[in-house]
């Protein structure tokens, strides 16, 4: 127990240390940024995806340690090159198959040979964008975390082959698997139908939880704080709900039983809208919670550098530590909420007919 707690504290401190390094990191493009601007820039940068994996660096010296990742682009033909090529030329332009690309604010644009970025009237970049299938920092992390999850649970599964008693990793993860089954799936879906949804619920629960936890590590990745990630997850929940729904579910949407006929006509469009709002709420909730958590923690750590007073720094260090612990809870809670609400929607999709009395 004691070693576990100690390990946890080490993890927290290393997180604080590493993110503080991130905060002091600079690409020294503009050179003269004030510390507040620098912190804001770093937080923005952290929340966005990146085309290379940055580990640590030094603002003042302009050094950065990390590794490049493969860039895969599609603009009618396939372009494939390493992200390190963006740094080969001073203007940051990469030429591939006659097209010029430039990375600007974590996005890749098609430019002229000089790498000029133009702005439209709405202050957004007006350059054309290729479709970016790059193995970005988030995709790279996703591959790693997915492999880790697969390794963990296939190992757990192997444990049961010869020995029905959960030992080792099975001992740690079995209660969580049973938690998903007994506290999430069965109460929301019901004994009769829950089994066919278990694969998805277990996968989505452990996926979100693990990814959230990795967002807390010193690697400084922010996966579930990306709208594309939460959109993909919510879309799968929506598709499963829609394609496994029974007659009763559609009946409740288009022809609500138990209310006057006029009301049924009024309710139908509201219910149809509700079909889409439910998964939309799922994706926004997860995205907003995790993004907000990352912003708050990075801001608190940023404040350590704004204040020169040691007392204030101590206070913010304590606050940062406290919020990191809260974030660990949020990591689990968001995984639970996403899974629980998905189960609730599946439950409504397969609910049996209960309105004979009306």
Distance CA 212, CA 141 (A): 12
Beta-carbon contacts of residue 107 (< 8 Å; ≥ 6 apart)? 125, 129, 132
> Residue 49 interacts with other proteins (CB under 8 A)?
yes
CA 55/CA 219 separation, integer angstroms? 7
Q: Which residues of 46-76 are buried (b: 16+ CB within 10 A; e: fewer)?
A: bbbbbbbbbebbebeeeebeeeebebbbebe
Q: What binding mask, one character per residue, do residues 221-250 give for other proteins by CB under 8 A, x or -?
A: -----xxxx-xxx-xx--------------
Nearer to other proteins, 132 or 271 (CB): 132
Among 58, 75, 85, 174, binds other proteins (CB under 8 A): 174
Q: Is 11 exposed, middle or buried (0-12, 13-18, 19+ CB in 10 A)?
A: middle
Considering the rule CB under 8 A, would residue 156 count as an interface residue with other proteins?
A: yes
Task: Tell me the site size for other proteins, rule CB under 8 A.
Answer: 44
In the bound state with other proteins, the residue whose beta carbon lies nearer, of 134 and 216, is: 134
Residue from 10, 178, 272, 273 in contact with other proteins (CB under 8 A): 178
Are 87 and 27 spatial neighbours (Cβ–Cβ below 8 Å)? Answer: no
Among 190, 235, 216, smallest CA distance to 349 is for 190
- For tokens 């940023």, the residue is 302
Decide: is 133 part of the binding site for other proteins (CB under 8 A). yes
From 5-13, 78-86, 202-210, 293-301, give the range in contact with other proteins by CB under 8 A. 202-210
- What is the Cα Rg of the chain in Å? 24
48 touches other proteins by CB under 8 A: yes
- 143 belongs to the binding site for other proteins (CB under 8 A): yes
Quote the least distance from Cβ 275 to other proteins, whole Å.
20
Q: Nearest-5° angle of CA 358, CA 340, CA 287? A: 120
Please state the φ and ψ torsions of residue 302, each to the nearest 5 degrees: -60, -40
Near other proteins by CB under 8 A: residue from 197, 207, 209, 346 = 207
Which CB, 175 or 257, lies closer to other proteins? 175
* CB burial readout 120-158, b (16+ within 10 A) else e: eeeeeeebeebebebbbbbbbbbeebeeebeeebeebee
Stretch that binds other proteins, among 82-90, 174-182, 254-262, 298-306 (CB under 8 A): 174-182
Q: Are 310 and 152 in contact (CB under 8 A)?
A: no
Please say whether the dihedral angle defined by the alpha carbons of residues 213, 24, 66 and 291, taken in this order, is positive or negative: positive
Residue 181 found at the interface with other proteins (CB under 8 A):
yes
Of 8, 119, 160, 307, the one binding other proteins (CB under 8 A) is: 160
- 126, 154, 217, 246: which one binds other proteins (CB under 8 A): 154
Instruction: Tell me whether residue 15 or residue 109 sits nearer to other proteins (CB atom).
Output: 109
Tokens of 28: 């020294």
Residues 61-100 as x/- pattern, contact with other proteins by CB under 8 A: -----------x----------------------------
Token code pair at residue 141: 């992390």
What minimum distance in Å lies between the beta carbon of 126 and other proteins?
13
Least CB distance to other proteins at residue 320 (A): 26
Q: Residue 264 is encoded by which pair of tokens? A: 């049924």
Supply 343's token pair: 């189960």
Kindly indicate which of the ranges 9-17, 32-40, 129-137, 326-334 contains the residues binding other proteins, using the contact rule CB under 8 A: 129-137
Nearer to other proteins, 227 or 265 (CB): 227
Q: Which two tokens stand for residue 333?
A: 């809670």
Question: Is 45 a residue that touches other proteins (CB under 8 A)?
Answer: no
Q: Quote the tokens at residue 25.
A: 């990191």
164 touches other proteins by CB under 8 A: yes
Sites of contact with other proteins (CB under 8 A): 48-49, 72, 124, 131-136, 138-139, 142-143, 146, 149-150, 153-154, 156-158, 160-161, 164, 174, 177-178, 181, 198-200, 202-203, 207, 226-229, 231-233, 235-236
């Amino acid at each position: 127990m004691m070693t576990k707690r100690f390990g946890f504290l080490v993890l927290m401190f290393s997180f604080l240390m590493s993110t503080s390094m991130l905060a002091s990191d600079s690409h020294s493009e503009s050179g003269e940024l004030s510390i507040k601007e620098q912190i804001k820039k770093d937080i923005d940068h952290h929340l966005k995806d990146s085309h290379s994996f940055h580990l640590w660096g030094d603002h003042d010296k302009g050094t950065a340690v990390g590794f490049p990742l493969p860039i895969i682009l599609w603009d009618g033909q396939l372009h494939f090159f390493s992200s390190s090529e963006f740094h080969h030329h001073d203007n940051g332009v990469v030429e591939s198959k006659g097209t010029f690309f430039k990375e600007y604010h974590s996005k890749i644009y098609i430019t002229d040979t000089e790498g000029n970025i133009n702005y439209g009237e709405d202050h957004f970049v007006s350059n054309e964008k290729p479709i970016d299938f790059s193995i970005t920092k988030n995709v790279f992390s996703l591959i790693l975390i997915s492999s880790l999850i697969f390794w963990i649970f296939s190992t757990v599964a192997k444990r049961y082959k010869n020995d029905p008693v959960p030992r080792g990793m099975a001992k740690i993860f079995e209660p969580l698997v049973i938690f998903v089954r007994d506290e999430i799936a069965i109460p929301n879906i019901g004994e009769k139908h829950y089994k066919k949804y278990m694969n998805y619920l277990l996968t989505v629960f452990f996926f979100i939880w693990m990814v959230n936890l990795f967002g807390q590590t010193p690697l400084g990745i922010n996966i579930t704080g990306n709208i594309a990630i939460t959109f993909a997850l919510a879309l799968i929940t929506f598709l499963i709900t829609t394609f496994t729904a029974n007659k009763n579910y559609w009946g409740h949407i288009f022809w609500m039983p138990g209310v006057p006929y006029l009301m049924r006509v009024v309710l139908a469009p509201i219910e149809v809208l509700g079909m889409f709002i439910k998964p939309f709420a799922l994706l926004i909730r997860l995205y907003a919670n995790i993004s907000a958590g990352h912003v708050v923690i990075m801001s608190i750590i940023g404040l350590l550098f704004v204040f020169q007073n040691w007392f204030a720094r101590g206070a913010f260090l304590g606050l940062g530590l406290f919020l990191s612990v809260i974030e660990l809870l949020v990591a689990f809670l968001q995984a639970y909420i996403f899974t629980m609400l998905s189960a609730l929607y599946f439950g409504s999709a397969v609910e049996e007919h209960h309105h004979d009395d009306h």
